[in-house]
Amino acid sequence: MIPWWKVDLGPQAPAAVAAAVADRRISLGPLVAEFERRLAALLEVPHVVATTSGTTALTLALMEAGVGPGDEVIVPNRTWIASAHAAHTLGATVVLAEVEAERPLLDPEACARAITARTRAIVPVHLNGRIGALEPVLELARRHRLAVVEDAAQALAVRGSDGRFLGTCGRSGGFSLSVAKLITSGQGGFVATRDDEVARRLRLMRTHGTADVVDASWLMPGTNVRFTDLQAALALTQLDLLPARIAGVQRVWRQYADGWTGIAHATLLPARPDLGELPIYVECLCPRRAALMAHLAAAGIQTRPMYPDLHRAPQFAARNPGPYPRSRRFGEDCLVLPCGPDQDPADIARVLQALRAWRPEGA
């Protein structure tokens, strides 16, 4: 079976983790600090705060921005549900906004219509390394005095149209280090920010609001979402591989884009690598998605249906009944083809061949 995601952690990973254990680098410590410094340099920001997942990165960022019960947080209807759960678990009301017609990214006009007197924050999502219309959202936030917490979980190392990296343009930005990302620590994440005070508060909040777990003093509310040196040992080796990972993602995307000729019953979801976008996933739209996935599975090819629209989740449905016609097409028709920076070119050629060979019933 050709897997839907393929990445090689590299030969240095096992030795790095073993060395961390041998040196008793287990919990939050110098390896985490080194990883944070290197990420900050990569993203051209003064501060990175590593945490346990992309979800907790977003939750921590919203908590730092003061989001809580009684507040509303605007989230696009097309995203992995963590973008919304970060606000939901803080007791805030999630308000879902429609996406663009051609790309599953937050529509600034829909975002503007969703703002009320209770809105506290906006979470624009840079889904699959795409560059959305971020400046209008930032302008809305400035006008209404709202916090912008970017979800850049799938957009590491992507520069926006203004030259800044995605995830570094708002109050803060959350990133993910889970397995199917550009770099991984198994599970993990981090928050990037340009604001010294925001970074200070994030570091306190990540450890129950204290600066010292030995001689503790309770400075503010928080929780335990500390990244560990064991994870950082692995993540540092992956950071060394980042240029190769970027090149691998670009190679995979080009092979699909160049080879799509003759595929009649599915459409490659567009991305703009020429403008700096980095689509880590290869997505296509097919009105007969289930049948296509079954055809590919029979050919030994694993695929993944794209996530359902968030307004279909019972915890969000009452406040967000819809309809969301733009979202619906992506939620019902989109699937992810085998990708990942180390996907074999011969396997991608097999996928393209299987796509060309598919003739759905009734077509």
Please tell me the predicted confidence (pLDDT) of residue 130: 97
- What share of the chain has pLDDT > 90, as a percent? 97
- What share of the chain has pLDDT > 70, as a percent? 100
Q: Is 281 helix (H, G, I), strand (E, B) or coil?
A: coil
- Chain-centroid distance of CA 74 in Å reads 17
Instruction: Classify residue 99 by its DSSP letter.
Output: B
pLDDT in tens, 291-327: 999 999 999 999 999 999 999 999 999 999 989 999 9
pLDDT (mean) for 279-289: 98
Are 356 and 263 spatial neighbours (Cβ–Cβ below 8 Å)? yes
Please tell me the predicted confidence (pLDDT) of residue 142: 98
Residue 271 pLDDT more than 80? yes
Q: Structural domains in the chain?
A: 12-240 (3.40.640.10), 242-357 (3.90.1150.10)
Average pLDDT, the chain: 97
pLDDT in tens, 325-359: 999 999 999 999 999 999 999 999 999 999 999 99
Please tell me the predicted confidence (pLDDT) of residue 361: 84
Could you give the count of Cα atoms lying within 13 Å of 280 in the half-sphere of its Cβ? 24
Are 16 and 214 spatial neighbours (Cβ–Cβ below 8 Å)? no
Closest CA to 141 of 130, 131, 132, 150: 150
- Helix (H), strand (E), coil (C) string for 233-262: HHHHHHHHCHHHHHHHHHHHHHHHHHCCCC
Residue 362 pLDDT more than 80? no
Please tell me the predicted confidence (pLDDT) of residue 363: 67
Task: Please tell me the pTM assigned to this model.
Answer: 0.96
* CA 266/CA 333 separation, integer angstroms: 9
